[in-house]
Amino acid sequence: MEVRIEHDSMGEVEVNAARYWGAQTERSRRNFPIGVGLETMPREIITAFGMLKKAAARANFALLPEKMTEEKCAAIFAAADEIISGRLKEEFPLVVWQTGSGTQTNMNVNEVIARRGAEMADEEGLLHPNDDVNLSQSSNDTFPAALHIAAVLSLEDRLLPAVEGLITTLRRLEAENADAVKSGRTHLQDAVPITFGQEVSGWRAGLERDCEQLRAALPGLYELALGGTAVGTGLNAPAGFGEQAAAELARMTGKPFVSAPNKFHALTSLDALVFAHGAMKALAADMMKLANDVRWLASGPRCGLGELTIPANEPGSSIMPGKVNPTQCEQVTMVAVQVMGNDAAVGFAASQGNFELNVFLPVTAYNFLQSARLLTESISSFDARCAAGLTANRKKMRENLHRSLMLVTALSPHIGYEKAAKVAKKAYDENLSLREACLALGYLDAAAFDAALRPEEMV
Assess contact for 43 and 89: CB atoms under 8 A: yes
Assess contact for 391 and 177: CB atoms under 8 A: no
Choosing from 28, 138, 154, 187, which is the catalytic residue?
Answer: 187
Contacts of residue 18, Cβ cutoff 8 Å, sequence gap at least 6: 2
φ, ψ dihedrals at 125, nearest 5°: 80, 10
End-to-end CA distance of the chain: 74
Choosing from 7, 85, 317, 351, which is the catalytic residue?
Answer: 317
Assess contact for 390 and 294: CB atoms under 8 A: yes
The 10 Å CB-count burial string (b at 16+, else e) for 88-121 is beebbbbbbebbbbbbbbbbbbbbbbbbbbbbbb
Known catalytic membership, residue 277: no
Known catalytic membership, residue 187: yes
**Bridge-based pairing state of the strands 223-224 and 258-259:** parallel
Nearest 10 degrees: CA dihedral of 348, 349, 352, 355?
Answer: -150
* Secondary structure (DSSP) of 48-108: HHHHHHHHHHHHHHHH-TTTS-HHHHHHHHHHHHHHHHTTTGGG---BSSS-TT-HHHHHH
Q: Residue 257 belongs to what H/E stretch?
A: none
Q: Is 220 helix (H, G, I), strand (E, B) or coil?
A: helix
Q: Which of 234, 226, 47 is nearest to 145 (CA)?
A: 226
Q: Which residues are known to be catalytic?
A: 187, 317
